[in-house]
């Protein structure tokens, strides 16, 4: 005799739901956004000479955000960094895009004798976000 297993679509009972455990504050890495453009552009951030230390890379990108370079100023309001190797833009950036940045520590006085780095932004992908609109 053969018996078939039925499929149940009921959720399992959760004993003590909402009454057991500790309250926690949850921080999530996402945010709501209103999509007005049809594409999002992802760029690889490359620093030369190469710096492997995370804190130096992060500081260089912070200094890049503050630079007065005219090319950067024209696109600054459309971009977001992950603080390491990725930049996302709501507009396509001119290619190739290379910007010189002088490195100095927080609290140090900027000057012409400080080390200079070149930050390059290379297009990785162009994502059509119209598929995500509801």
pLDDT at 43: 94
Mean confidence (pLDDT) of the chain? 81
User: Stretch 79-104: mean pLDDT, rounded?
Assistant: 87
The encoded tokens of residue 105 equal 């520590």
pTM of the model: 0.66
The encoded tokens of residue 34 equal 């209103």
pLDDT tens column, 93-106: 988 899 988 888 88
pLDDT at 122: 94
Closest CA relative to residue 123, chosen from 42, 53, 15, 61: 42
Q: Which residue has the higher pLDDT, 87 or 55?
A: 87
pLDDT at 124: 95
Going from N- to C-terminal start, the domains of the chain cover 39-129
């Amino acid at each position: 005799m053969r018996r078939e297993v039925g499929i149940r679509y009921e959720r399992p009972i959760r004993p003590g739901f909402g009454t057991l455990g500790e309250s926690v504050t949850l921080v999530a890495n996402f945010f709501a956004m209103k999509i007005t453009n049809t594409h999002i552009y992802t760029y690889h951030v490359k620093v030369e000479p190469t710096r492997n230390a995370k804190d130096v890379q992060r500081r260089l990108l912070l200094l890049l955000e503050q630079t007065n370079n005219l090319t950067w100023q024209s696109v600054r309001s459309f971009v977001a960094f992950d603080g390491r190797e990725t930049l996302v833009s709501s507009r396509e950036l001119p290619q190739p895009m290379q910007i010189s940045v002088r490195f100095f520590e927080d609290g140090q006085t900027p000057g012409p004798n400080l080390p200079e780095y070149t930050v390059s932004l290379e297009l990785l992908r162009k994502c059509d976000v119209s598929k995500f609109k509801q």
